[in-house]
Amino acid sequence: MAEFQVVVIGAGPGGYLTAIKLSQLGQKVALIENDKLGGECLNYGCIPSKTMINTSDMYHKMSDLSTQGIEFESVKVDLETFQTWKNSITKKLRGGIDLLCKNYGVEIIFGTAKIRNPNLVEVINGENKKEISTEYIIIATGSRAKDLEDLRFDGNQIISAKDVLDLDKVPKSMLIIGGGAIGLELGTALAKFGTHVTIIEITDKLLPGIEQDLVNVIERSADEIGIKILLNSRITEISKESEVVVSIKNNDNVSNEKFEKVLVAVGRRANVEKLGLEEIGMKFNSNGFIQVDDKMQTNVSNVFAIGDVVGPPWLAHKAYMQGRKLAYHIAKIPANIQIKNIPYAIYTEPEIASVGLTEESALEQKYDIRVGKFQFAANARALTSDDGKGFAKVVVDNSTHEVLGVHIVGKNASELISEGVLGLNIGMKIEDIESSIHPHPTLTEALFEAALVSLDKSVHSFIKKSKSE
């Protein structure tokens, strides 16, 4: 029987990083994985999807560079070659994880884990079975795409995001069910490759939880690249022939349409099967995710959970920070790690990134606010890159001048948001941005200008003065 202080189940971004951190803090750690190091994010999600999005973006731009003086005789897409390149990236990153774990003394064990009790984990790999005793168990098994009762994944016509990222040819047409981040990201990539994309969303809004003025930019851009968006819509009938035939009810109108493939992107479900959690009395929430407290502890003594398996937001960086905080807690080493101001980034056209309170949520919480917004259409760096879509926005407490939220829709929004994250973490006031020199020409100047707008000090935006002034 092997002896460890901590067993981590799941080697995704939360699991392997937590295992390494625990080892750095002096703990003897075993890391159990039933598939590939890096988990869903590295192998089937975040990294492959961003690879496809980047490639589709380059292809799309190459087909229309004549205004910048660059012309091609022909540009074509070869997804088989793309897959080889994509797989080389994930392989390289997996190798890096393996090396890091070995260098830090984390023992990697491949197989399917089952928790027999809070101090005993059984691992099965083929005909081999191993029992591992431990003081603590961390569940970091992640989540997977959720299908629908009438739309079960078959890997061919009814597909998940994972299947999209393994395509070896560009589909002629695709229906995407779900107007969330995954559906919009992959829909945008495929549309840029030339797929006729239709996205249906059952509610009256794309990207629930995101401010409408940011979403408006995405909707206009989607229309420009040929994506058809149907809100207040659902599937009423479906049949699979050589193509998938669906009846789509949009408000009071019903239409019959054919698609080569249907992508179901309606959320995630926790990977908790086969872990034996019911047998040890584990509690779940109404959506099937593991319940934890602020220390990531479950209701079962010495058993913790982090990442997607505890519910949304389903973000790798959230899982990592939860794991870091937990590692110090288990090692009994003081650390001031707060899980707050979690940013999100959506890799649409253009990107969206956000942290903190939106205008709407700030008003709901009774803040007296001022807002500054600056368009990338007036940003020199954005225009030199032919990417003037979108804006940067700050939400500010009018009485204290503390920055409550930063929201960006535009080129490289995912990179630009970190200034906002740092600012919110340290209680930044809007004057802190105003007094910080941003290099020119850069996209970061848009956030600087948004700060100036909120203070009525901008010279690059026209601020209409009242007659009393």
Write b or e for each residue in 117-151: b if 16 or more Cβ atoms lie within 10 A of its Cβ, otherwise e.
Answer: ebbebebeeeeeebebebebbbbbbbbbbbbeeeb
Type of residue found at 294:
D
Omega prior to 350 cis, within 30 of 0: yes
Please report which helix (H) or strand (E) contains residue 136, including its range. strand 128-139
Give the active site residue among 60, 317, 440, 460: 440
Distance CA 149, CA 391 (A): 40
How many residues make up the chain in this entry?
Answer: 469
Distance CA 32, CA 8 (A): 6
Q: Which two tokens stand for residue 60?
A: 């799309």
Q: Which two tokens stand for residue 237?
A: 């009938």
Type of residue found at 117:
N
Distance CA 333, CA 324 (A): 11
* Residue 339 C-alpha from the chain's centroid: 17
Please report which helix (H) or strand (E) contains residue 450, including its range. helix 445-454
Dump the DSSP string for 321-350. HHHHHHHHHHTT-----------EEE-SSS
Does the annotation mark 440 as catalytic? yes
Dump the DSSP string for 354-366. EEE--HHHHHHTT
Ramachandran assignment for 26, one of left (phi > 0), alpha (psi -120 to 50 degrees), beta (any other): left
For residue 375, give the 3-state DSSP assignment: strand
Confirm if 235 and 177 have CB atoms less than 8 A apart.
yes
User: Of 365, 351, 338, nearest to 421 (Cα)?
Assistant: 338
Beta strand 173-177 pairing with 196-200 = parallel
Distance CA 108, CA 97 (A): 10
Confirm if 433 and 423 have CB atoms less than 8 A apart.
yes
Q: Report the catalytic residues.
A: 440
